[in-house]
Homo-oligomer: A and B are copies of this chain.
């Protein structure tokens, strides 16, 4: 009788164990879903706009300049370079998987990608243009006029269409099928022992409290420096949006998807290696000093979050016409 019960218990345990390992929905991290409800014509238009430096005053800076899709959707420098080489105030967050974020920008001041897309175009420290001038440029380019008409059904281009199309393209910039997602979806040998131990540490130490969900982050605002204060640059953060003093130094938790590619780290881009970033996070957010071995395992796990990078043909932009307002890279 006892033997039979034991056998049943073992069988149940084995089943449960399998269920825990295989059923992704019991893990704090969820696999990235490929984008659905995509308007392909709008994506193609948005892709061109994303790569078009004519949306900047200088004719030199495009969305892709700072959110470079060859480099994890970032510029891999601490803070970005804007019009006339102005130094940006904050690290450019990756555009990859940004559709999964609860809001856009480090302080969440844009509700969604569409709202975000209009920001840099008109920011004097970034693309330094105005929405009106950008529309004047686009409206003067016959190739764009035709494509906007095809997509939006009207001869008159407006900024709402521009940001809608860019956001639609950005919706496609997800990175599914990382080794970690393959593991979540049942490929048990997708991760090494060290990587799995790193994931266990990541969960058991409390990193998943903020870095969870499909984006492994991006879905909440948290204080930078909970246990210990952060010694780097700290702006108001979320408080600039809410006006609430309690939100000072609060930033949107960055996604850890493709984190191997999105250095340097944190809102001020002050740390270049994952080893440093894991150490700082452990101490400041969790009051925990990871050993060298623990740190290395967590880093090994983090590198399994690199997914398939967006794969598309470099877009060819329609040429300007004789009537196109000229860029002003120098002077004025």
Q: Is the CB of A314 within 8 A of B70?
A: yes
B319 & A260 in contact (Cβ 8 Å cutoff): yes
Are A320's CB and B77's CB within 8 A? no
- Beyond the given pairs A59-B76, A76-B327, A273-B322, 6 more chain A to chain B contacts, judged by CB atoms under 8 angstroms and listed by A's residue number, are A53-B75, A60-B75, A70-B316, A77-B327, A275-B322, A314-B314
Q: For chain A, what secondary structure do more than half of its interface residues adopt (helix, strand, loop), or is it mixed?
A: loop
The answer for the CA separation of A250 and B152 in the assembled complex, in Å, is 49
Task: Give the nearest-CB partner of A324 in chain B.
Answer: B272
User: In the assembly, what is the distance between CA of A182 and CA of B84, in Å?
Assistant: 43
A309: Cβ under 8 A from any B Cβ:
yes
Interface set, chain A 51-98, CB cutoff 8 A to B: 51-54, 58-60, 65, 68-72, 75-78, 81, 84-85, 87
Contacting residues, chain B, for A34 (C-beta < 8 A): none
- Residue of B with least CB distance to A76: B59
Interface size class of A (residues with CB under 8 A): 35 or more
Partner of A309, one of B77, B275, B310, B316: B316
Q: Is A329 an interface residue (CB 8 A)?
A: yes
Question: Given A81-B329, A313-B311, does the pair A319, B272 have CB atoms closer than 8 Å?
Answer: no
**Cross-chain contact B319 with A261 (CB below 8 angstroms):** yes
Give bound CA distance, A263 to B322, whole Å: 10
A51 with B70: CB separation less than 8 A: yes
Task: Give Cα A313 to B315, complex, Å.
Answer: 9
Question: What are 15 of the A-B contact pairs (CB < 8 Å)?
Answer: A53-B68, A54-B76, A59-B75, A59-B76, A60-B75, A60-B81, A70-B314, A70-B317, A71-B319, A78-B329, A81-B329, A260-B319, A263-B320, A272-B322, A311-B313
CA–CA, A330 to B263, complex, Å?
A: 17
Within 101-153 of A, Cβ neighbours of B (below 8 Å) are at none
Task: Answer whether residue A326 sits at the interface, using C-beta atoms and an 8 A cutoff.
Answer: yes
Is there an interface contact between A69 and B320, defined as CB atoms closer than 8 Å?
no
Given A85-B84, A314-B313, A76–B272 Cβ distance below 8 Å?
no
